[in-house]
Amino acid sequence: MAIHLQKNAYGKNAINLSKVIRHPDHHEIRHLSVDIALEGDFEAAHTAGDNSSILPTDTMKNTVYAFARQHLTASIEAFGLILAGHFLEHNPPVCDVRITLTEYCWKRLLVEGIPHPYAFINGGSEKHIAIVSKSRQNLLLSAGIDDLLILKTTDSGFEGYIRDQYTTLKETADRILSTSCNIRWDYDRAPEDPDATYNAIRQDLLRSFAWHKSLSVQHTLYAMGESVLRAFPEVTTITLQMPNKHHILFNLQPFGLDNNNEVFIATDEPYGLISGTVSRS
């Protein structure tokens, strides 16, 4: 019986760092978590305990902090590209590097309408994601958003679905649509200004969500993906995961009150989970 090692990887996850960038008149705070995964010729380490091809994961961690001091000055996409290039260049056994960067959103605190020079407020659960997958021949750059919590109070319905003996859900042409999106998109080339491109794509997603006449979460998911692909030719594919954060109309009739789409039970569980990938034909 032949036994052999198949696909494998190793690396360091959850390298959390903060960096203060000190401008002459204000500070900037960057708060990141970095995951690193290396693939390559590591069979001897698994089969014979030979670590001569292994870069310690502690070294990977230290590299991230050292490079943050020197290179974390612009977008997280640019920082990820520099890290991936370093690990490929200096480690011959490595054939593929995957860097995943998550940036937490901090904004300068407004005091009497003026941004404070060194005080910040957290931007909520939303996170900026960048993924760099680099081999010695190819580069794939992806970006995205996690935990983008959005809601609209009308222009959403759900009707005409399958009904059977277990169906109790009532059809509606007017409901709350709320979701916490996780979104990823792939570039066919690295944007000249990744931050500007990211912000423009984010605004396009929000605009299409807000103005789309939604007949289902699936309907809005496709509209959001289609809008990005039409507006940004450098984006080749976009994947959206949109859990339906239900708001269920509460029955006020026992109390002699009507409920004209005003009072709802907000519930996180159980929830519908809708996902889809939209790409160019």
Q: Is the pTM of this model over 0.75?
A: yes
Residues 6+ apart with CB under 8 A from 245: 151, 178, 179, 180, 266, 267, 268, 271
Structural domain boundaries in the chain: 10-137, 148-279
Q: Which residue among the candidates 12, 127, 128, 212 is catalytic per the annotation?
A: 12
**What 3-state DSSP class applies to 275?**
strand
Catalytic-labelled residue, pool 31, 152, 219, 246: 246
pLDDT at 123 over 90: no
* Kind and range of the H or E run holding 11: strand 10-22
Which residues are CB-contacts of 97 (< 8 A; sequence separation ≥ 6)? Answer: 36, 37, 38, 39, 83, 84, 87, 88, 132, 133, 134, 135
Q: Which of 27, 57, 71, 237 is catalytic?
A: 57
- The answer to whether residue 281 scores a pLDDT higher than 90 is no
Decide if 27 is catalytic: no
- Range 11-33 average pLDDT: 97
At the top level of CATH, the class of 10-137 is alpha beta
CA Rg value for the chain: 23
- Alpha-carbon gap, residue 182 to 147, rounded angstroms: 6
Instruction: Say whether 7 is catalytic.
Output: no
Catalytic (active site) residue 73: no
d(CA 175, CA 122): 30
Q: What distances in angstroms separate CA 171 from CA 156, 168, 179, 226, one per listed residue? A: 12, 10, 19, 27
**pLDDT tens digits for 127-175?**
999 999 999 999 999 999 999 999 999 999 999 999 999 999 999 999 9
Topology at the third CATH level for domain 148-279: Urate Oxidase (3.10.270)
Domains 10-137 and 148-279 share a fold: yes
What type of residue sits at position 184? R
